[in-house]
């Protein structure tokens, strides 16, 4: 093989490599556009290598949750389906605390000029003295309202509905977990 033939082969290989480089650049630009549109940051190689595995821990006791979730990277709470859920993400671990927000009711009838209770779960109120004091078991403040429903036979169903005010919850959580009030999210943290 002559020297000119070798140079031609090397030129050919260089041109093929340049064409591949252009194609790769185009593909990388498309991927970066997709990442930018989705709003997801691309982790650096160091971040990907040092990533901590994620764990979700359900904590039943508020004091334990407060201890484990103090000063988290992200704090969120959600109130839905008569349930309070607080999530704290700290060091790759998601600590979750859930508590039911009860709704109490009783049926009241007038019998011989007196009001008589005929059923309901109103007695459950006494199982939770914190509700009488105006807070959930964890200590978060609640407000209550009473709603009356008149039944056709003349009796009345009375319901006490407990509500958590979002701003009051943010203030309370801020103090409990050492987080700025403005950094608390109303919602949930998903893995």
First CA to last CA distance, the chain: 62
Predicted local distance difference test score (pLDDT) of residue 37: 63
User: Average pLDDT in the 134-157 region?
Assistant: 82
Reported pTM: 0.62
The confidence score (pLDDT) of residue 43 equals: 52
CATH 3.30.720-classified regions of the chain? 52-100+166-186
Residues 6+ apart with CB under 8 A from 69: 59, 75, 86, 88, 90, 95, 97, 177
CATH topology of domain 52-100+166-186: 3.30.720
What would the mean pLDDT of 77-88 be, rounded to a whole number?
90
pLDDT surpasses 80 at 74: yes
State mean pLDDT over 114-132: 62
């Amino acid at each position: 093989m002559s020297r000119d033939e070798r140079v031609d082969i090397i030129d050919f290989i260089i041109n093929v490599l340049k064409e591949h480089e252009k194609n790769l650049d185009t593909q990388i630009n498309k991927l970066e556009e997709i990442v930018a549109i989705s709003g997801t940051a691309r982790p650096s190689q160091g971040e990907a290598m040092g990533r901590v595995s994620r764990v979700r821990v359900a904590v039943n006791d508020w004091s334990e949750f407060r201890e484990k979730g103090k000063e988290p990277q992200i704090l969120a709470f959600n109130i839905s389906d008569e349930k309070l859920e607080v999530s704290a993400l700290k060091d790759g671990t998601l600590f979750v605390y859930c508590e039911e927000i009860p709704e109490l009711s009783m049926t009241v009838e007038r019998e011989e000029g007196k009001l008589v209770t005929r059923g309901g779960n109103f007695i459950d109120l006494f199982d939770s003295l914190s509700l009488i004091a105006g807070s959930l078991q964890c200590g978060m403040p609640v407000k209550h309202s009473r709603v009356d429903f008149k039944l056709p036979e003349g009796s009345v169903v009375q319901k006490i509905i407990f509500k958590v005010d979002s701003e009051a919850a943010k203030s309370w959580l801020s103090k409990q977990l050492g987080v700025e009030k403005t950094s608390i999210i109303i919602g949930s943290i998903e893995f």
